[in-house]
Structure 1
Amino acid sequence: MLALGALLSATAVHALDYPETPRGTVVDTYHGEQVADPYRWLEDVDAPQVKKWIAAQNALTRTHLDQLPDRAAWRARLAQLWNYEKYGAPKRVAGALFYRYNDGLLDQSVLVREQAGQRKVVLDPNTLSADGTLALTDWAVSPDGRYLAYGVAEAGSDWNRYHVRDLRTGQDRAEVLEHIKFSNISWSHDSAGFFYSRYPGSDGVFSDLENQAIYYHKLGSAQAQDVLVLSDPEHPRRNMYARVSDDGRYLLISLREGAREENALYVRDLNQAERPFVRGRLIKLVDDFSAKYQVIGVDGPYVYALTTDAAPNGRIVRLDVRHPGRQKTVVEAGQWPIEDARLAGQHLAVVVMRDAVNKLLVYPLDGSSATPVVLPELGSISGLRAAPDGRSVSFTHASFVSPARQLEVDLSDLRVTTLNQARLPVDTSDFVTEQVFFSSRDGTRVPMFILRKRGHPGGPRPTWLYGYGGFSISLTPWFKPERLAWLEQGGVFVVANLRGGGEYGAAWHKAGTLHNKQNVFDDFIAAAESLIETGITSPEQLTIEGRSNGGLLVGAVSNQRPELFAAALPGVGVMDMLRFHKFTIGWAWTGDYGSSDDADMFKVLRDYSPYHNVPGGDDYPATMVTTADHDDRVVPGHSFKFAAALQHADPGSAPKLIRIQTRAGHGAGMPTHMRIEQAADEMSFAAFHSGLQRAAKIPWQKLVAR
């Protein structure tokens, strides 16, 4: 560490000259308490003064990063590790398999059709822009296989434009649909048009979101002629999603209030699959928003759904469109949460989660018994779909050291077939994954995964700790190539499964929300303390990372326990907890966070809001905040204000920097070259400030023949 300290001085890290950030005089009054907001002006990301500030901050950060040792080597190795085939979840339509595919380093994955062993590109987003920042979002192939409806987002925004491509000619039709965000695409069975959700309009990237409604677009017509299927002007902030049942008879509509899991479930009877009446009778199967009802399939008049009603771990019920209000339990709630399920012919394919690892069970339609499916390794399942004939289900399966592979299960004998599988440019047999449990501050038993190189030397090692803890999102094993670069140099990577996630069902989620949000931070701090106490790492070697809600996590724990960490990487975080609900979709998160409009929750939020609680002292970790100028989900003003507050307080000598990606958003759709550059910056920053230096006697692993 002495050598590290000398190098630190040599790179002039101690003498950072932060750009000037004027402090304003804005003061807000919340329930009788005055709270200063000196950097309110940074919320206006398009203001000339803010653009100048962005440029100055990026220049400073770039100077620091370019001085870090081995940054170029990290970049080169990451490009090698990223260069493997990537397969998205497959969909069977009209006798063909459709999925996203990337042969290695394409900026955007292409959409392909695979039939009779032949793969053909049907849409290449890389041809849509010179810089790779136009990304494919939603897509759906018409039941007859002739048309592709697809969405495109620019520069990472959540806003979409929908297009329709004729797959026979490869050309797009004239119609373009706009004002679309947080939607899906679902074709009517006659392939004459599709259902989707949109807003009345938008006045820019950061528009407020109200009055979403469901429409039906008939091919060949202008968007202004689309048929309104459902709206709810009395509840302007409800989100609506619609999909057509596999038999084409019903339109299944889910309504949600914000980001809450609880929803209402409506059905429109389309009468005839081949001649649908899109304004058919509306049936309200569930209308009280008291539990989650996720439709998993339809069999005649019966709607099968995964619900948390009287079952925090989930159960599967059968509803009857002829008798709203009636329901029959098919699969009882068990010890482990049900994460997903699908009706497939005379079977139910059910994904359960046991200690943050997915298992696949197959039941007969009456739910009488469960048979486990043998999967290649412990990992996560995503994109579960039933084949049109109901004889099989397909999905992708991944682990921490294996990228997603496409699997298909024959439900007659539970035989598992690999449809497509990537070959990595590195031998991952040298890496091991261990799951351990630790006790949080209140005694709660919390799991975490520890990844390291086989034959790991004794003694503390530079360690990267990742967490999220919110919105019932579970951190099951998933693959990211940049981790391999960290592991092969002797670093340790850890994922903590914090409360607020969905790893143990609805109760686990609620234990990390609202008044209980501090539990999430306590869990993460306890994870760090456990890693230190067991000799895996030390405070001088520990990097923490989280994104979005996880960025809030990193900001909060850095403020609360700065002495525990060497480096912090809060990405696209929710940092101003008193004003988050005032921007774009922020109001939707009040189910997890509460709101400063409520006097009781104001006190809770004020006590942990990262922007409002930057401490003094000399032991704050080296911090690189990351965000993007087009993030219209967690607006960049959050990160701007937090970084400004850090630089003003300047607690300790370690750098407090912000990296602001241009022409990017919250993360989805970011082109590969940007991802590699950001990973190289984060990895070299973390390696330098936690002491993981590239050892001259340990060469980068040789590439394995692909």
Structure 2
Amino acid sequence: MTIHETKRGSAVEDHFGVAIADPYRWLEADMRRDPEVAAWVEKQDSAARTYLEELPSRDVFRSRLAALYNHERVTPPQKEGGRYFFTRDPAGDEPMRLIMREKLDGEDRVLVDPRDWAQTGAGALAEWSASPDGKYVAFGLQQGGTDWRTIRIVNVDSGDPLAEKLSWARSTLIAWSGDGRGFFYSRLPEPEEGEELSASFAGHAVYYHELGTPQSADRRIFSHPNLPSVLDVVGNGRYAIIYTSAVSGGNGLSVIDLEKHPWKPQTLVKRVDKPWVVMGSAGSKLFLNTKEGAERGRIVTVDLAEEEPTFREIVAEDAAVLASASIVGERIVAVYRVDAKSEVRRFRLDGAPDGRMDLPGIGSAGVFSGEPGDPEAFFTFTAHDVPWSVYRYDVATNRVAPWSVPRTAFDLDKVKVEQVFYPSKDGTRVPMFIIRRKDVAGPVPTILYAYGGYGISMVPYYSPDVMAWVEQGGAYAIANIRGGGEYGAAWHDAGRLGNKQNSFDDFIAAGEFLKAQRIASTDGLVAQGESNGALIVSAAVNQRPDLFAAALPGVGHYDMLRFARFTGGKLFINEVGDPSVEADFRTIIAYSPLHNIRPDRPYPAMLVTTADEDTRVAPPHSFKYVAALQHLVQPTKPILLRVARGAGHGAGTPQDKAIAEVADRWAFAAHWTKLHVDDRP
């Protein structure tokens, strides 16, 4: 297929004595207001969709994905005022609805169906919180996949909405004060008309809204000059905990004693380079887990009644990584990560070990939701071959029972999951999960996925997308490359800032391992990644285009010299560095995908995906990258740009749009790896 040459401009910038041409800067203009950019996007997207529509396996994948997504999704119940609140989608094809039960085994009552509240069919339920007495629920509506929220309130007894409508919430929690008279949330100033998708985080602040009052009367509680902040409430509503967060995973910490007026934030942690999470309280004592002074995590307490509150360790750092911890009943329930898999340990409130809890299998346990003094808790569990399920845990008896375990359209007993370890370029031992059918022996077409950033761990999780590929006889591999948090802060640091090349080396080494071990076929390896994972994929493709038959980068950063100029891009500086600082520039320019395209090598087939309402990673990254690839590479395989409409960075995207995009990706990958696709399940 042929896509005509994109217009090139003459923009050139000097970076510490290096002249960097930027011929596609004109594509940074807002496509909703610039007709020339809109026409370019339409032309590219139309060409991509025409190509994809002709792939014979596309309809098969779409049909099977719809069937595989067709299972119940339920979140762990939250108990307030003796009532149970949770979200449910009975068939997996609709927006999550907020449900209330008067008792755990009682009848469902739908409180919020986002289809009844949203302005269009693209609405989704986002953050929500029930008041301590269980009489009200405040909830956020996400429109069209953007990160913006509109917060509404519903009366639980009557089901009627309150008049309040809070706009421009973003990067927020919703947390009620202990008296139930109002709640805290975070928002930005109202952006200029037409600037909604490009607005930065300047002016982000925490507010308090009292029921029955207009948003204009909301009290500004806290703000940081450069970073977003969110607020949570613990201690039966007494303490407001303010987290000021950096994208790198660290956060500052402040606390407000809501029983003392006027409310005054007290700073407990000023720096934002390490994570701190308040897991609960007992009297004036807070319990926290942190990586400060312990890269794999530890548990500490601080007594706010002290004149100078001091952190005291009660559970020391372990060889395993502390993923989360909660106070439930009279115990600390802590989820540890061992080689990327979950293990649950119990402690008494003084930190003394109190045994372990048996999980349903080898996989990932979520945060335990419960309250001090109440032995009942709920948690999620999933694995690559176990769909997201909810279990009830009785802390007093240490017993686990299933509460909601969905059935799927594919017999998961046919699936084989194995964990392997492979050496990276520098000899580092890297774990990787491989998922395939038990009756399939390699080598077969294989998709290699990784994320590798911001300390986020790629733990076992169930994915209908993965099952759709595996069902057809392909293999799917997930590499736990450096930059994630699988082995603590050191693993994260080893793949960030000046060490970012390690992430690319780990990904490339994973691909080489899959071929050497005859898991992936010689011409059948596909690189896939979204967001930071797309940065990994695009950099790896530049460095080793010969390794891959196809590449599927989505919603990614590609112009690493100008990322800080787009939307909330400045927040990513702590992870990748600041291109306006010479030392960081020297590192970044060596791998920036836009600036390291290798025209002397044959590139794989590439399907680059983005979304027109992505407010986290601006679409112009993808526009400029594709334009440069199409100009510099003389392809024997297509380089396509697919732009999802009315969608964002992933969360909140309507399921039909998500399925359509995955079907296009898998059909593209199947075509270029010669995967045989059968329409029979």
Q: TM-score, normalised by structure 1?
A: 0.93
In structure 2, the residue matched to 1:40 is 25
Whether 2:54 is the aligned partner of 1:67: answer yes
2:61 is the alignment partner of 1:77: no
CA distance in 2, matches of 1:38, 1:596: 19
Q: Does structure 2 retain, via aligned residues, the 8 Å contact 1:431–1:451?
A: yes
Correspondent of 1:604 among 587, 600, 617: 587
Q: Within 5 Å, give how 1:129-208 maps onto structure 2.
A: 129=118, 132-203=121-192, 204-208=196-200
Question: Shift of residue 570 of structure 1?
Answer: 0.2
Cα RMSD for the two superposed structures = 1.5
Match of 1:631, SS state, is coil
For the Cα contact (< 8 Å) 1:86–1:403, is it kept in 2? Answer: no
Query: Which string of whole-angstrom CA distances, capped at 9 and with x for unpartnered residues, describes residues 564-589 of structure 1?
Result: 00010000001110011111111111
Distance 2:645 2:671 in 1: 25
Matched AA of 1:395: F
Matched, 1:504 2:492: no
Alignment partner, residue 639 of structure 1? 622
Q: Which residue of 2 aligns with 1:227?
A: 219
Aligned to 1:443: 427
Structure 2 residue aligned with 1:266: 254
Of residues 285-294 and 192-201 in structure 1, the stretch that sits farther from structure 2 once superposed is 285-294
* CA deviation string 1:581-602 (max 9, x = no partner): 1111111111110011000110
Matches within 5 A, 1:585-596: 585-596=568-579
- Aligned 1:51-66 pairs, distance under 5 A: 51-66=38-53
Query: Which deviates the most, 43-52 or 597-606?
Result: 43-52
Could you give the per-residue CA deviations for residues 69-128 of structure 1, whole angstroms, max 9, x where no partner exists? 121122111111111111123212222222221111433111111334211211111233
Question: What residue in structure 2 maps to residue 305 of structure 1?
Answer: 288
Q: What one-letter code is carried by the residue in structure 2 that aligns with 1:79?
A: A
Q: Is the 8 A contact 1:572 1:634 kept in 2?
A: yes
Shift in Å, 1:700? 2.2
What is residue 271 of structure 2 aligned with on the other side?
288
- 1:79, 1:437 → 2: CA distance? 33
- Match among 607, 610, 628 for residue 611 of structure 2: 628
What's the counterpart of residue 378 of structure 1? 362
- Structure 1 residues 128 and 289, CA gap change in structure 2 (3 angstroms): closer
SS in 2 for 1:602: helix
- Aligned partner of 2:651 in structure 1 is 668
Return the letter of the residue paired with 1:665.
G
Seen in structure 2, the aligned counterparts of structure 1 residues 421 and 387 have a Cα distance that, compared at 3 Å, is farther
Aligned AA (1:64): Y
CA positional deviation for 1:441: 0.4
CA contact (8 A) 1:134 1:155 kept: yes
Helix, strand or coil at the partner of 2:650: coil
Q: Distance in 2 between matches of 1:657 and 1:641?
A: 12
- Find the residue that maps to 2:589 and give its secondary structure: helix
Instruction: Give the Å deviation of 1:455.
Output: 2.4
Once the two structures are TM-superposed, the CA of residue 431 in structure 1 deviates from its matched residue by: 0.4
Whole-Å separation in 1 of the counterparts to 2:597 and 2:375? 57
In the alignment, is the contact (CA less than 8 A) between 1:629 and 1:663 conserved in 2? yes
Moved more, 541-550 or 36-45: 36-45
Q: State the Cα distance separating 1:389 from its structure 2 match.
A: 4.0
Amino acid of the structure 2 residue aligned with 1:40 = R
Amino acid at match of 2:24: Y
Letter in 2 for 1:637: P
The equivalent residue for 2:447 is 464
List runs of 5+ in structure 1 lacking aligned partners.
1-15, 702-706
For 2:327, which of 343, 348, 361 is the aligned residue?
A: 343
Residue 224 of structure 2 corresponds to residue 241 of structure 1? no
Tell me if 1:120 matches 2:109: yes
Q: Distance in 1 between matches of 2:58 and 2:249?
A: 42
3-state DSSP of counterpart to 1:376:
coil
Pick closer, same or farther for the CA change 1:263–1:71 going to 2, 3 Å: closer
Contact 2:70/2:93 (<8 A) preserved: no
Q: Within the alignment, does 1:328 sit opposite 2:316 as a pair? A: no
Q: Which residue of 2 aligns with 1:10?
A: none
Q: CA deviation at 1:264?
A: 2.1
Deviation of residue 383 (structure 1)?
4.0
Q: What is the deviation of 1:245?
A: 1.2
Q: Determine the structure 2 residue equivalent to 1:367.
A: 351
**How many angstroms apart in 1 are the aligned matches of 2:670 and 2:367?**
34
Aligned position for 1:107? 94
- Whichever residue aligns with residue 163 of structure 1, its letter is R
Contact 2:249 2:273 in 1 (8 A): no
In structure 2, distance between residues paired with 1:582 and 1:63: 33
* C-alpha distance after superposition, 1:519-561 (max 9, x if no partner): 0000000000000111111341011100000011111001110
Q: 2:557 & 2:87 partners in 1: Cα distance?
A: 31
The alignment partner of 1:396 has SS state of strand
Question: Which deviations, in whole Å up to 9, do the C-alpha atoms of 1:286-312 show, x marking residues without a partner?
Answer: 223453221111111111111112100
Farther off after superposition, 218-227 or 85-94: 85-94
Q: Does 1:553 align with 2:536?
A: yes
Query: Aligned-pair distance for 1:129?
Result: 4.5
Q: 1:321 to 1:651 in 2, by over 3 A?
A: farther
Structure 1 residues 394-543: aligned runs within 5 Å: 394-457=378-441, 459-543=442-526
Specify which of 682, 689, 693 is matched with residue 665 of structure 2: 682
* Cα distance in 1 between the residues matched to 2:479 and 2:559: 24
Which amino acid counterpart does residue 398 of structure 1 have in structure 2?
A: T
Partner AA of 2:483 in structure 1: G
Q: Distance in 2 between matches of 1:688 and 1:290?
A: 45
Instruction: Give the secondary-structure state (helix, strand or coil) at the position aligned to 2:237.
Output: coil
Instruction: Mark the CA change 1:618 to 1:560 in structure 2 (over 3 Å): closer, same or farther.
Output: closer
Q: Is the 8 A contact 1:19 1:57 kept in 2?
A: no
Give the drift of 1:388: 6.1
Q: Look up the SS of the partner of 2:64 in the other structure.
A: helix
Distance 2:8 2:50 in 1: 25
Alpha-carbon distance between aligned partners in 2 of 1:640 and 1:500, rounded to the nearest angstrom: 26
1:503-533 Cα deviation digits (max 9, x unpaired): 0000100000001000000000000000011
Query: What is the CA deviation profile of residues 455-491 of structure 1, one whole-angstrom value per residue up to 9, with x for unaligned ones?
Result: 223x410001100000000000111112212112210
Shift of 1:219: 0.3
Decide whether the 8 Å contact of 1:632 with 1:666 is kept in 2. Answer: yes
- Find 2:340's aligned residue among 350, 353, 356: 356
Distance in 1 of aligned mates of 2:351 and 2:373: 20
Q: Which residue number in structure 2 is paired with residue 578 of structure 1? A: 561
Judge conservation of contact 1:255–1:263 (CA < 8 Å) in 2.
yes
1:88 to 75, 80, 88: 75
The answer to whether the 8 A contact 2:188-2:201 is kept is yes
| Counterpart for residue 13 of structure 1 | none
Structure 2: distance between partners of 1:655 and 1:129 = 38
Cα distance in 2 for residues equivalent to 1:491 and 1:430: 13
**Alignment partner of 1:556: what SS?**
helix
Aligned residues of 1:199 and 1:213 also touching (Cα < 8 A): yes
The one-letter code of the counterpart of 1:35 is: I
Gaps of 5+ in 2: none
How far apart, in 1, do the equivalents of 2:62 and 2:230 lie?
41
In the alignment, which residue of structure 1 is the partner of 2:201? 209
Amino acid at match of 1:176: K
Q: Is the 8 A contact 1:514 1:593 kept in 2?
A: yes
Q: Distance in 1 between matches of 2:302 and 2:425?
A: 42
TM-score after normalising by structure 2: 0.96
* SS of the residue 2:228 aligns to: strand
The residue type paired with residue 147 of structure 2 is: D
2-structure distance, mates of 1:210, 1:83: 41
Q: Separation in 1 of the partners of 2:602 and 2:336?
A: 43
For each residue in 1:661-701, what CA deviation from the matched residue of structure 2 results, as whole angstroms up to 9, or x when unmatched?
01111011011111111111111111111110225xxx623
